[in-house]
Amino acid sequence: MNLPLLIASGIRITTPILLAAMGGVFNQQVGLMNIGLEGLMLLSAFSAAVVGFRTQNIILGIFSAILTGIIFALLHVFFVIKLKANLIIVGIALDLLAVGLSGYFLQIIFGVKGIFSSPRIPRLSPLIRIGIMSEFDILVYMSWFFVLLTAIILYKTRYGLRMRACGENLEAAFSLGIKVDFYRYTSYIISGILCGLAGSYLVFTLQIFSKNITAGRGFIAFASVLFGSANPLLTSVACLIFGFAESLQIRFQSFVELPPQIIQMLPYLAVVIALALKNLRSEGV
C-alpha cells in the first residue's frame, strides 16, 4: 500500500465531508440540528453540474451551487422557525426532495437516468504540482481554511459569542435582546454556502453527476458534528477519521479477499463506533 497516495486520497475524500460539517457546526452552535446537509450537498452538486456543463466555467458552476445551497437552506430554516415544523422531519424531507428533484431533472435536462458524465463538465486543477500536493485543488485548501475561520468566528468574535448564546440558553439570549432568528437564519446561509462548495467539489473533481454522488457524505458530516460536539477542531478530526476509513475501504477492495459489501461498510461502521464512543463519553462510562 502506497502511504503517500493513501494520505492524499484520505484528505481528498475528507474535503466535501469537512465543508458540509463546518456548516453543520454553525447550525448546531445556534441550537439547530441540520440533518438536511445531505440534501443541500446533492442539490448543489446538481446545480454545479448543469451550469458547469452549459457554460464550461467552474466559477459559474460553483456560484450556482452556492446559490442553490443558500436557497434550500433558507427554505429549510423557514419551515422550522416560521411554520414551526419539526426540525428532523424537515431535514429528512429535504434529503428525500433532493433525491427526487435531482433524479427527475437529470432525465429532463440530460436525457439520462442515474448518472451523467461528460468531458464538458470542467475539472478542478491542482494548485501545486509537487509530490502529493499535486493531488489537491483549491477547495481542499479552502476546506481547512474554513475550519480555522469557523473557530475564529465562533470563539473570537461578537457574532460567534451571540450565536453560541442562542444555542446554550435560548431564553437568556432573548432576555438580553439578542435577535435569535437573525443568528439562526445566518447560520443556515453559511451552511448553504459550505454545502454548495462541497457539492461542487464532488462534481468538478469527478466530472460526473449521479443521483448518489453524495453517497451519504452529508450524513457522515452530520455525525462528525455530533461526535465533535460542534467544536470545529474536534469535528475536523472526526471528518478525517471517516475520510480515511473510506479511503482504506477503497484500497482494501484491491487486495483483501472479502465480499465488497463488507469492505464498503467500513466508513459507516466508523460512524457507528464514533457515535457510540461519544455517547459513552457523555455518560461518563
* Per-residue pLDDT, 140: 94
Q: Counting Cβ atoms within 10 Å, is residue 78 exposed (0-12), middle (13-18) or buried (19+)?
A: middle
* Per-residue pLDDT, 261: 64
* Per-residue pLDDT, 285: 52
The grid coordinates listed for 15 are 474535503
Residue 76 near residue 90, CB atoms below 8 Å: yes
Is the per-residue pLDDT at 193 higher than 90? yes
Strand ranges, E, within 161-234 = 208-210
Cβ count within 10 A of residue 149: 13
Distance separating the N- and C-terminal Cα atoms of the chain: 37
Residue 224 near residue 238, CB atoms below 8 Å: yes
* Per-residue pLDDT, 66: 98
The mean pLDDT of the chain is: 90
pLDDT band of residue 151 (cuts 50, 70, 90) is very high
Is the per-residue pLDDT at 116 higher than 70? yes
Identify the helix (H) or strand (E) that includes residue 88. Answer: helix 87-110
Q: What are phi and psi of 284, to 5 degrees?
A: 75, 25
Q: Which residue has the cell 422550522?
A: 80
Residue 170 near residue 155, CB atoms below 8 Å: no
Q: Which of 33, 45, 40, 44 has the alpha carbon at shortest distance from 89?
A: 33
The grid coordinates listed for 68 are 442553490
Is the per-residue pLDDT at 249 higher than 60? yes
* Per-residue pLDDT, 264: 64
Quote the pTM value. 0.92
Residues 13, 16: Cα–Cα separation, whole Å:
7
Residue 232 near residue 154, CB atoms below 8 Å: yes
Longest distance between any two alpha carbons in the chain, whole Å: 62
The grid coordinates listed for 183 are 443568528
Is the per-residue pLDDT at 219 higher than 60? yes
Residues 277, 238: Cα–Cα separation, whole Å:
12
* Per-residue pLDDT, 141: 94
* Per-residue pLDDT, 254: 67
pLDDT band of residue 83 (cuts 50, 70, 90) is very high
The set of residues, in sequence order, having a beta carbon less than 8 Å from that of 108 and lying 6+ positions away, is none
CA 67 distance to own-chain centroid: 15
117-132 confidence digits (pLDDT tens)? 988 888 888 877 777 7
